[in-house]
């Protein structure tokens, strides 16, 4: 059986409108990059929205070219006969506004100045990202979604969909998420920001495209990688192995874990914009389900659909107790909520590394909503 969606193409749509943001500012026109997989049924009732994490994009499944080294970031989950079965569902994944992967963000041209927005781009909240996604659903002629599913920042989007647009969502599946970003997570992002700000090439966001602040962004990304992993996964992957190419008493010699962080850090700036990284980090820091509500209880009182939540035992970026805080509020309100704590050693990245540990639960849940 062919379990791939095959070759896919990223599509783009521009909305000649101004979106009022949570900050009070307006943004427009707005371009969204998106991909779709599967076929929309005659009733237009079989759509699923997949939301990406921090530095993700719309390319969730399949390949753009036959010789692509890797498929889309959630290819193991999306396709014929897979958990998100494209033989049954019409799957949509859009790049969030604020990103640099095709949707309107700091690298986009500001129509008022005809120059890139850079730091004149407005500060975003996750709620604004979801508001923009609504434009895409309207464009596609889709009134309701079977479910909205995503991990990390994608989980935040799923929650916002369920609370603010309950008439359009039949269920949500937040994975490795939180109801509000913790001080520790904000602190980690703060250190990452300072790494970028202290790079002389950043120039307060006015860096030249051909000379970005590579060192600062590489260090910021390395900090993120540490947060995505766990103590156990680092032991499993690297242990205390010292690089074979370095002498043990070479002052600049490195452990394998150091080489990993250096490699991934310096590879990242080749395909992601620094200002976009900063804006999305700010959106993560600002995330609070209770924003503009009196409490979490009031916010979750607006969630009318069933929800399926996952947390992972070794996740220290958004540890289980943060997911459980949201789940307990929902239970106290008598909402239809399911929660599973998955035993995994791979930290926050568990939802990407070991999906087989929880995908059967997702399949059963989606089947009940369809």
Query: How far, CA to CA in Å, does 21 sit from each of 25, 104, 131?
Result: 6, 14, 9
Q: Which residues pair with 30 in a beta bridge?
A: 15
The residue annotated as part of the active site, out of 108, 152, 233, 314, is: 152
The residue annotated as part of the active site, out of 75, 199, 285, 315, is: 315
Q: Within 10 Å of residue 91's Cβ, how many Cβ atoms? A: 26
Distinct helix (H) and strand (E) counts, the chain: 11, 14
Query: How far, CA to CA in Å, does 44 sit from each of 92, 93, 134, 168, 172?
Result: 13, 16, 15, 12, 18
Q: Residues forming the annotated binding site?
A: 221, 349
Tokens of 264: 């991934």
Q: Residues forming the annotated binding site for substrate?
A: 221, 349
- Is residue 348 among the annotated active site residues? yes
The residue annotated as part of the active site, out of 85, 128, 348, 350, is: 348
Q: Which residues pair with 63 in a beta bridge?
A: 7
Instruction: Report the alpha-carbon distance of residue 309 to residue 51 in Å, rounded.
Output: 15
Query: Angle 183-197/274-286 helices, nearest 10 degrees?
Result: 160
Check if the beta carbon of residue 261 is closer than 8 Å to that of residue 238.
no
- Is residue 152 among the annotated active site residues? yes
Indicate the DSSP class of residue 21: P
Tokens of 291: 């924003």
Could you list the active site residues? 152, 315, 348
């Amino acid at each position: 059986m062919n379990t791939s969606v095959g070759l896919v193409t990223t599509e783009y749509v521009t909305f000649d409108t101004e979106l009022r943001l949570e900050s009070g500012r307006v943004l427009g026109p707005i371009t969204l990059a998106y991909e779709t997989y599967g076929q929309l049924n005659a009733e237009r009732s079989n759509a699923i929205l997949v939301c990406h994490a921090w530095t993700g994009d719309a390319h969730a499944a399949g390949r753009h070219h036959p010789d692509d080294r890797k498929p889309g970031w959630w290819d193991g989950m999306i396709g014929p006969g897979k958990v998100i079965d494209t033989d049954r569902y019409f799957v949509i994944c859009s790049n969030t506004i604020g990103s640099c992967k095709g949707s309107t963000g700091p690298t986009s041209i500001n129509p008022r100045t005809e120059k890139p927005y850079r730091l004149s781009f407005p500060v975003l909240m996750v709620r604004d990202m979801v508001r923009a996604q609504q434009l895409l659903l309207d464009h596609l002629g889709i009134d309701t979604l079977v479910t909205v599913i995503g991990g990390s920042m994608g989980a935040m989007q799923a929650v916002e969909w369920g609370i603010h647009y309950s008439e359009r969502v039949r269920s949500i599946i937040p994975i490795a998420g939180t109801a509000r970003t913790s001080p520790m997570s904000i602190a980690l992002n703060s250190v990452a920001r300072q790494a970028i700000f202290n790079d002389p090439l950043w120039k307060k966001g006015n860096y030249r495209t051909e000379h970005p602040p590579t060192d600062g962004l590489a260090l910021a990304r390395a900090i993120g990688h540490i947060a995505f992993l766990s103590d156990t996964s680092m032991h499993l992957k690297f242990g205390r192995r010292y690089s074979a190419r370095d002498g043990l008493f070479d002052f600049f010699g490195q452990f394998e874990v150091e080489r990993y962080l250096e490699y991934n850090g310096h590879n990242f700036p080749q395909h992601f914009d620094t200002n976009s990284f900063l804006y999305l980090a700010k959106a993560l820091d600002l995330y609070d389900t209770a924003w503009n509500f009196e409490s979490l209880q009031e916010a979750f009182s607006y969630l009318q659909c069933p929800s399926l939540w996952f947390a992972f035992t070794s996740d220290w970026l958004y540890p289980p107790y943060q997911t459980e805080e949201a789940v307990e509020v929902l239970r106290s309100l008598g909402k239809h909520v399911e929660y599973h704590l998955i035993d995994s050693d791979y930290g926050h990245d568990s939802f990407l590394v070991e999906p087989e540990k929880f995908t059967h639960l997702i399949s059963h849940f989606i089947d009940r909503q369809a």
